[in-house]
Amino acid sequence: MTAHSVLVVDDEPDIRQVVSDILQDEGYHVTAAADAAQARTRYHKDAPDLVLLDIWMPDTDGIALLREWREDRAGRNTPVIMISGHGTVETAVEAIRIGAYDFLEKPLSTAKLLITVERALETVALQTENLTLKTRLLPASGFIGHSETLEDLRHLINRIAVTDQAVMIRGEAGCGKGVAARSLHQASGSASGPFVEVNLGALPAASIALELFGAEHDGVVTPGQLEQASGGTLVLDEVGDLDMDTQTKLLSALEARRFFRLGGTTPLEPAFRIVATSNQDLEQKLSDRLLREDLFYRLSAVTVQIPPLRAHREDIPDLINHYVQLITDSQHLPFRRFSTSSVNYLRNRPWPGNVRELTNFIHRILLTTTSEIIEAEETRDVMGQSATPLDAVEEKNAWRDFGQPLRSAREHFERDYLEFHLLQTRGNISELARRAELERTHLYRKLKGLGINPKDEKYRQ
């Protein structure tokens, strides 16, 4: 098994040496840096599995460096353990808030150091495993159901898969656009190649080009998603969120079948199938000149429309059975089943969030109830708790306390409003900006000012 690599950053030579020796004795591959400048170079060049980062350094403090890495989309989600001889509770809290895994005080306890490093690496390994299961195993089952609507969709995807045409997959949020993209990839001749998904709606606009094309700077190469998709399929989720400059770059890359990393001079020619998805009104974006017409037609050489769940309600019993089995198996829950009356009740629900909403509801009821057979009355009770996220917001909305200052009331309302729509959009910043009618840069500043992290997993459930 390959040894994990650890970067030790501390301006005190004795500390660097002692910590390095301890970790090397435990079988870790260790590199060291004396200041932030060296740390940046080692971080990007060596791509360590974990970083031990001192807070007080002569050029840039560790908190600022951690924030820089966490805000850099090209940076990895490498676990960072902060170390300090003059730490305070406020400093530790700030470090954890920004994204540090843990905070250790000097003088370092060898036992605590080793167990913290071990647990941080185990946490990352589990997160990677869970992400693999979520993004690869679940969608691999394809569309669940036997309706004529889904059969037609399966046949269409299989016909398209044998070509190398760009595909535009459209449909409402939660209806299965990602499943369609995965099915298309698995039915194609590139099924053994990479399947790369880029959630454009969750990226800050300034980072999208970097994410797609990668970068070269001072000899440090950061591969982009176009490069990583070579030999497979690249999925651009919510393609309508691309800014005009990136649209131009992408169109040029698709037409020339080559591109340059940002700041690079070497042309790259990866071959991949491109799939775009959207739940937006792209025709309106064309009319508003927010989407290039030539790019739109190149990406939509073939269009696949995914039907909403209400258009194939007869598949709801199959979906219920499938996800009950999947959830109980994966979370080691006792087997349960929905009664016929309960299934009929669910078949007649509107499901504006489509299959995603149904899946989340099944998960919720399996976790919050105990009866072996889930009857309609119990289903209605739980549905009443979860059908309208606004109810949960209103229960805690302190802004209705008119005794507080106007500024506090406004902040409470804005926080509840934005959290409600983050839950509704599953953390999609672009869709949130559209609903709130705010420019994305202004929206990011407001979220930060209110202490809301749009990347929090609770918004993506």
pLDDT tens track for 247-302: 999 999 999 999 999 988 889 998 999 999 999 889 999 999 999 999 999 999 89
Q: Which two tokens stand for residue 111?
A: 């036992």
Q: Can you read off the two tokens belonging to residue 305?
A: 């429309």
Place of tokens 């569309």: 143
| pLDDT grade for 391, boundaries at 50, 70 and 90 | very low
Residues 163 and 3: their CA atoms lie apart, in Å, by 42
pLDDT in tens, 292-332: 999 999 999 899 999 999 999 999 999 999 999 999 888 88
Q: What is the DSSP secondary-structure string of 147-203?
A: -HHHHHHHHHHHHHHTS---EEEE--TTSSHHHHHHHHHHHSTTTTS-EEEEEGGGS
pLDDT given for residue 38 in this prediction: 93
Distance (Å, rounded) from C-alpha 185 to C-alpha 337? 33
H or E element at residue 385 = helix 376-386
CA–CA gap between residue 154 and residue 430 (Å, rounded): 30
The model's pLDDT over 431-444, given as tens digits with 9 standing for 90+, comes to: 888 888 888 878 88
pLDDT, position 450 = 84
Query: Does the reported pTM lie above 0.75?
Result: no
Q: Strand 373-374 relative to strand 167-170: parallel, antiparallel, unpaired? A: unpaired
Q: Indicate if the pLDDT at residue 408 is higher than 50.
A: yes
pLDDT tens digit string along 39-54? 998 998 888 999 999 9
C-beta of residue 27 within 8 angstroms of C-beta of residue 34: no
* Overall average pLDDT of the 161-188 stretch: 92
Long-range pairs of 195-199 with CB within 8 A, sequence gap ≥ 24: 195/136, 195/232, 195/233, 195/235, 196/225, 196/228, 196/229, 196/232, 196/233, 196/234, 196/235, 196/272, 197/135, 197/235, 197/237, 198/225, 198/234, 198/235, 198/236, 198/237, 199/237, 199/238, 199/428
Q: Answer with the residue of higher pLDDT: 304 or 389.
A: 304
pLDDT for position 398:
41
In this predicted structure, what is the pLDDT of residue 404? Answer: 57
Position of tokens 């990866």? 270
Alpha carbon distance 21, 16 (integer Å) = 9
Burial of 194 (0-12, 13-18, 19+ CB in 10 A): middle
Residues shown for the chain: 461
Give the pLDDT confidence score for residue 461 in this predicted structure: 58
Question: Which domains occur in the chain, in start order?
Answer: 5-135 (3.40.50.2300), 148-307 (3.40.50.300), 310-387 (1.10.8.60), 391-459 (1.10.10)
